[in-house]
Structure 1
């Protein structure tokens, strides 16, 4: 259901706008055509990151972790950086102490939300998905930005950093329909456990809206009659994916027992010989590859974006706790 009543709370709004500028019209045409050519939506593994609340809205600081604890470790590093950037003066003593307390706490406790120096921070969960069609995964669209030539796309920065999660921002018709589909969507496959399905169903009511995040790109590989990810990494632009995803040590790879210096020399020779493609379909060592468009959404509830779920894989404790447990088990010596 699409709501237009301004009395509704923000977390229930899906505001669809008619945009008349040429770029928006072309983007909307691309989206409609691709929804027909690539009609099947396939969900990937969730990704995690951390956000801060600024003026009532949640802003992404980083979103690239495969487990909640990796995101917590990233947030602790963020606080360490903020702490190190402040001068060691009486004027900043309280603020420095706040950041120090926060990262020391995260070293020991798996916290998903905390307030530091008057600002709220949260570990969030996002859901990537791709579109599939008869010929495989959806490649980049003609209107997707791709500003740099082959070999120079490392200048691109992640579009996720600084993105504001705002469900009230207007969207085009096709993206609005995607949001509507995701709002009521939950995992129904037997390929996951009942605890995962139960958490997915619960999220539909606890966080009843979704926000689409900036598009990123990865590389798919056609192996043994099916498409699979060539890498778990995502990239900010199609050319950045081509540059990174097409690289291979190939004939330069040394023996597996070669010394480190020989491995690095082979790597440098491979980098020098690497010529990134400028097309979306290419081969790497005889394997057909395709730049693949990755869309991502985050669920939103009355208090903001969804955090990790109980069923999400979270395979190790915070670093200080992990070291403590290993020492308790006699698997790591005590410091001198």
Structure 2
């Protein structure tokens, strides 16, 4: 009997030839990374997506990632509203009513899986990992796509939209070996994690023993007092340039505003941002703190019923929008918006606005010089 006749699809790890010189280069880099950055570590915070089950197998990711399950539930509700609008335009009143009913349900219930008009939708959880070596976390690889212009990476959109989570899709040998390593790991270990997080991690390893790797993303790591940490744990970018742009925006807007820097320091940080733009470097030192653009792998665990959803211990602070609104009203914290009343900005808000406007003007000037 062929093993393929008895092995569940979710436990499939297929190695297929990756054709072309770029694929061969990427495979070589992956093997080198295992030697230069041998330790695979979880980053702590997962990502969440809203996805639709495909008729031919697998689950299609429908949009961008969110830091919380509720963020993805809200995105799924928006997807239902768009489907309702399409049905209304097509004159299908029954479909419009059903899609809107699904959207309203997402507004008032914590729903991680729902079926609408024969289609099955689910909130999907992805664990994040990075490689660590003697000199710190792995930076972007030369084979990682990085074609965005400086300051324009956000226009590219997420690479995961339209990606199909399907364990039967063939991948390279290095990717299969990485998946095997990740699915065998609980993904959280040590005293830094609460017991409920550790218990959920062990349970997921047993209940979702398969896995699919999503395209790599990039975040910013910082080294201070001899330790590498995530600069903004909940934020990741589709390209290395997206992470560089984020760091440059912090230097020009977020940092000066948050830290209340004086004009001299603001000018110094702006020069550092200019240098980052000019060099497209993956490392930068700011006031003795070393920052590095870091490559992050993402794994969606797969089990008998499909991809893993949110875990009970996942950070999910906000309820659905209707419940949240009711809670705010009960606490006397809800104010109905008055469109006719002008908004008065305090000095802090005006300072932030000035920084943001200066950055927008700088970017527009950069586009003009490029002839765009």
Q: Same fold (TM over 0.5)?
A: yes
1:96-135 equivalent positions in 2, closer than 5 A: 96-135=96-135
Tell me if structure 2 keeps the 8 A contact 1:230–1:245: no
Tell me if structure 2 keeps the 8 A contact 1:124–1:306: yes
SS in 1 for 2:185: coil
2:40 maps to which residue? Answer: 41
Q: Does 1:161 align with 2:161?
A: yes
1:263 maps to which residue? Answer: none
Once the 2 structures are TM-superposed, how far is the Cα of residue 299 of structure 1 from its aligned partner?
0.3
Note closer, same or farther for the CA distance 1:132–1:94 as it changes in structure 2 (3 Å cut).
Answer: same
Once the 2 structures are TM-superposed, how far is the Cα of residue 4 of structure 1 from its aligned partner?
6.0
Q: Distance in 2 between matches of 1:71 and 1:61?
A: 10
1:202 maps to which residue? Answer: 203
2:370 maps to which residue? Answer: none
1:237-252 equivalent positions in 2, closer than 5 A: 237-247=239-249, 248-249=251-252
Once the 2 structures are TM-superposed, how far is the Cα of residue 286 of structure 1 from its aligned partner?
5.3
Once the 2 structures are TM-superposed, how far is the Cα of residue 63 of structure 1 from its aligned partner?
4.4
2:31 maps to which residue? Answer: 32
1:138 maps to which residue? Answer: 138
Once the 2 structures are TM-superposed, how far is the Cα of residue 334 of structure 1 from its aligned partner?
9.4
1:288 maps to which residue? Answer: 290
Tell me if structure 2 keeps the 8 A contact 1:114–1:120: yes
Once the 2 structures are TM-superposed, how far is the Cα of residue 152 of structure 1 from its aligned partner?
3.7
Q: Distance in 1 between matches of 2:259 and 2:236?
A: 27
Instruction: Determine which structure has the larger helix proportion and give its number.
Output: 2
Larger mean Cα displacement after TM superposition, 3-12 or 67-76: 3-12
SS in 2 for 1:78: helix
2:327 maps to which residue? Answer: 325
2:77 maps to which residue? Answer: 76
Tell me if structure 2 keeps the 8 A contact 1:128–1:294: yes
What is the count of residue pairs matched by the alignment?
323
Once the 2 structures are TM-superposed, how far is the Cα of residue 23 of structure 1 from its aligned partner?
2.4
Note closer, same or farther for the CA distance 1:75–1:274 as it changes in structure 2 (3 Å cut).
Answer: farther
Q: Distance in 2 between matches of 1:161 and 1:251?
A: 28
Tell me if structure 2 keeps the 8 A contact 1:60–1:160: yes
SS in 1 for 2:32: helix
Gapped runs of 5+ residues in structure 1? 258-265
1:9 maps to which residue? Answer: 8
Q: Distance in 1 between matches of 2:314 and 2:66?
A: 12
1:23 maps to which residue? Answer: 22
Deviation string, structure 1 residues 178-203 (Cα, Å, up to 9, x no partner):
11111211133222222222221111
SS in 2 for 1:111: coil
Q: Distance in 1 between matches of 2:215 and 2:194?
A: 30
Tell me if structure 1 keeps the 8 A contact 2:112–2:123: yes
Tell me if structure 2 keeps the 8 A contact 1:216–1:234: yes
Deviation string, structure 1 residues 223-245 (Cα, Å, up to 9, x no partner):
23222222332111112221222
Q: Distance in 1 between matches of 2:208 and 2:152?
A: 40
1:262 maps to which residue? Answer: none
Note closer, same or farther for the CA distance 1:127–1:283 as it changes in structure 2 (3 Å cut).
Answer: same
Q: Distance in 2 between matches of 1:74 and 1:38?
A: 36
Once the 2 structures are TM-superposed, how far is the Cα of residue 250 of structure 1 from its aligned partner?
6.8
Note closer, same or farther for the CA distance 1:197–1:83 as it changes in structure 2 (3 Å cut).
Answer: same
SS in 1 for 2:92: helix
Deviation string, structure 1 residues 5-49 (Cα, Å, up to 9, x no partner):
354221010112344533222211101111111111111211112
Deviation string, structure 1 residues 158-216 (Cα, Å, up to 9, x no partner):
11111100101112121111111112111332222222222211112211101100111
SS in 1 for 2:244: helix
2:171 maps to which residue? Answer: 171
Gapped runs of 5+ residues in structure 2? 261-265, 338-372
Deviation string, structure 1 residues 296-333 (Cα, Å, up to 9, x no partner):
00001122100111222222221111222343455547
TM-score, scaled to structure 1: 0.86
Tell me if structure 1 keeps the 8 A contact 2:58–2:167: no
Q: Distance in 2 between matches of 1:182 and 1:166?
A: 17
Tell me if structure 1 keeps the 8 A contact 2:214–2:299: yes
